Amino acid sequence: MAVFNLNVNGKKRKVDVDPDTPMLWVLRDHLNLVGTKFGCGIAQCGACTIHADGNAIRSCSTPISAVGDMEIVTIEGLSPNGNHPVQEAWIEHDVPQCGYCQAGQIMNAAAFLKKNPNPSKEEITSAMSGNICRCGTYTRINAAIQTASK
Ligand code: FES
């Protein structure tokens, strides 16, 4: 066990865990931030996507020891004062079906739009291709990201 001082959603958080503990479980089990979901656990589905210094990362395969003082943002902290434009677009397009993968989708979309604020449909498809949705909401995801980019 070791003590880690994290920066999560703008707050200092102290946790005492094994250094190999994936951030997904630190967030869910130790910090009660359960918006970040477990899908595959092997970096293949994107359900666990969070931001580390503004980059989308897979929390299931990122040990806490690799995080250091990076600014971690989860779906709970994406837009603390009202909806993020991506979330607004998600509502407008009624994107979710079962909803399970959607936090990861939104986190990936938000990080992508920050880097590429005016993407083409093809660029969106490519950027989102690693986030799997078993309900197949891909068409609405793409449309919502186009709306959010306007
Ligand atoms: Fe992390 Fe699937 S749960 S990528």
pLDDT of the residue at 150: 85
Q: What number does CATH give the domain 2-77? A: 3.10.20.30
What ipTM was assigned to the predicted interfaces of this complex? 0.98
Decide if 14 contacts 64 (C-beta within 8 A). no
pLDDT at 97: 97
Nearest to 14 by CA among 4, 23, 27: 4
In this predicted structure, what is the pLDDT of residue 93? 98
Residue (of 65, 56, 146, 139) closest to 103 by Cα position? 56
Count of all residues that appear for the chain in the document = 150
Determine the distance separating the centroid of ligand 1 and the alpha carbon of 89, expressed in angstroms.
24
Asked whether 45 lines ligand 1 (CB < 6 A), one says: yes
Question: Counting beta carbons within 10 angstroms of the beta carbon of residue 66, is it exposed (0 to 12), middle (13 to 18) or buried (19 or more)?
Answer: middle
> Is any ligand 1 atom within 6 A of the Cβ of residue 48?
yes
- Would you say the CATH fold of 85-148 matches that of 2-77? no
Atom of ligand 1 nearest to the CA of 49: 1
Chunked mean pLDDT (size 10), the chain, 150 residues? 97 98 98 98 98 98 97 97 97 98 98 97 98 98 97
How far, in Å, from the CA of 131 to the mean position of ligand 1? 9
Q: Where along the chain do its domains lie?
A: 2-77, 85-148
- Which run of H or E residues covers position 40? none
Separation between Cα atoms, residue 114 and residue 97, nearest integer Å: 25
- What ligand 1 atom has the least distance to the C-alpha of 37? 3
Which CATH number is associated with domain 85-148?
1.10.150.120
